[in-house]
Amino acid sequence: MAPKTVLITGCSSGIGLALAVRLARDKQRRFRVIATMRDTGRSGALAAAAGPALGRTLEIKQLDVCDESSIRACLDSVPGRHIDVLVSNAGVGMAGPLECQSLAAMQNLMDTNFFGLVRLVKEVLPDMKRRRGGHIVVISSIMGLQGIVFNDIYAASKFAVEGFCESLVVQALRFNVAISLVEPGPVTTEFEEKLYEEAKRADYSRTDPETADIFTNLYLRNSRDVFASLGQTPEDIAEHTLRVIEAARPPFRHQTNAAYTPMAALKHADPSGALVTDAFYKLVFKYDAVLRLSLRAIRLLRWKAQKVKEGARLLGFK
């Protein structure tokens, strides 16, 4: 069987890089990977990680999801514009008090995270419909299901992504085109570290002192604990995404972190929204010390589990 052509966006780092390398180095050689990024000058890390796969099962191309002509040019360079699997991964983040975010920055985020996906699908879907086959995989977020304090605009972009895909999936199925949303929780990438660094340097004079204090001394501290305790690696997300891609009947939604399933379920347990709102309020403002202790305990347990795995591997056990 001929290898599937997989086009992935946002491959200069993080999840995109990890997934591109994972698929390109597939032992069964089931995939031909087109790894794209806005600036190919930043392709060094991907090229190094791909190793001998570069030029064989992986090629790097320029694609800016905010530029229709860039998307079109990339697809026109693919023989027959034939894409079996599109992985929409490119995205930007934003966290902080709403009053401190510029409207231009919010619009840029929506242009990348939401309209970037729309532009890609508009170009790829017609060919998939004509062939009556294809798979669109979207790297969404658990924040597309549940908003998180101080992530107002980022969550809004992911809610838009989820609504777009939820509306489109039924029509797509008529043409034998699958759509899948991969919904990670916290992922430890340069993406997140950059957000933290920007948050530390940000100007909070446009909000009130209490809100600024809650963000810098409560949210950022707890957020770091969440990432350290519950965060997954880009490689973890790549493995989950591979499972979605190779599934005989791809799921519409796939959450990568079981720790966040109760959070999503809590929202649906009470249609009024009171239950989940109250739970989050108490978690943030009343029981934050308990939250931090719990997260540190989880981190310790995960560390011990990792050591057991490493020991078993050294002893020759799988």
- Sheet with 134-139, edge to edge strand ranges: 58-62, 31-37, 4-8, 85-88, 134-139, 177-183, 253-255
Q: Is 31 one of the annotated binding-site residues?
A: yes
Q: Is 158 one of the annotated binding-site residues?
A: yes
Tokens of 71: 């998307």
Q: Is 15 one of the annotated binding-site residues?
A: yes
By residue count, the chain amounts to 318
Q: How far apart are CA 154 and CA 92, in angstroms?
A: 8
Query: Kindly report the CA angle at 94 between 263 and 113, in degrees rounded to 5?
Result: 85
Q: Which of 181, 176, 173, 116 is nearest to 145 (CA)?
A: 181
Q: How far apart are CA 234 and CA 15, in angstroms?
A: 5
Q: Is 35 one of the annotated binding-site residues?
A: yes
Q: Is 139 one of the annotated binding-site residues?
A: no
DSSP E strand boundaries for 123-256: 134-139, 177-183, 253-255
Q: Is 11 one of the annotated binding-site residues?
A: yes
Q: Is 23 one of the annotated binding-site residues?
A: yes
Q: Is 201 one of the annotated binding-site residues?
A: no
Q: Is 16 one of the annotated binding-site residues?
A: yes
User: Which contiguous run of DSSP H or E holds residue 40?
Assistant: none
Q: Which of 154, 196, 204, 260 is catalytic?
A: 154
Q: Is 98 one of the annotated binding-site residues?
A: no
Q: Is 28 one of the annotated binding-site residues?
A: yes
Q: Is 26 one of the annotated binding-site residues?
A: yes
Q: Is 37 one of the annotated binding-site residues?
A: yes
Q: Which of 163, 122, 168, 167 is nearest to 145 (CA)?
A: 163
Q: How far apart are CA 257 and CA 261, in angstroms?
A: 7
Q: 100 burial class (0-12, 13-18, 19+ CB within 10 angstroms)?
A: middle
Name beta bridge partners: 60. Answer: 35
Q: Is 13 one of the annotated binding-site residues?
A: yes
Q: 102 burial class (0-12, 13-18, 19+ CB within 10 angstroms)?
A: exposed
Q: Is 260 in the active site?
A: no
Q: Is 36 one of the annotated binding-site residues?
A: yes
Q: Is 296 one of the annotated binding-site residues?
A: no
Known binding-site residue numbers for NADP(+) = 10-38, 64, 158
Catalytic residues, by residue number, are 154
Residues making up the annotated binding site are: 10-38, 64, 141, 158
Instruction: Write out the binding residues for substrate.
Output: 141
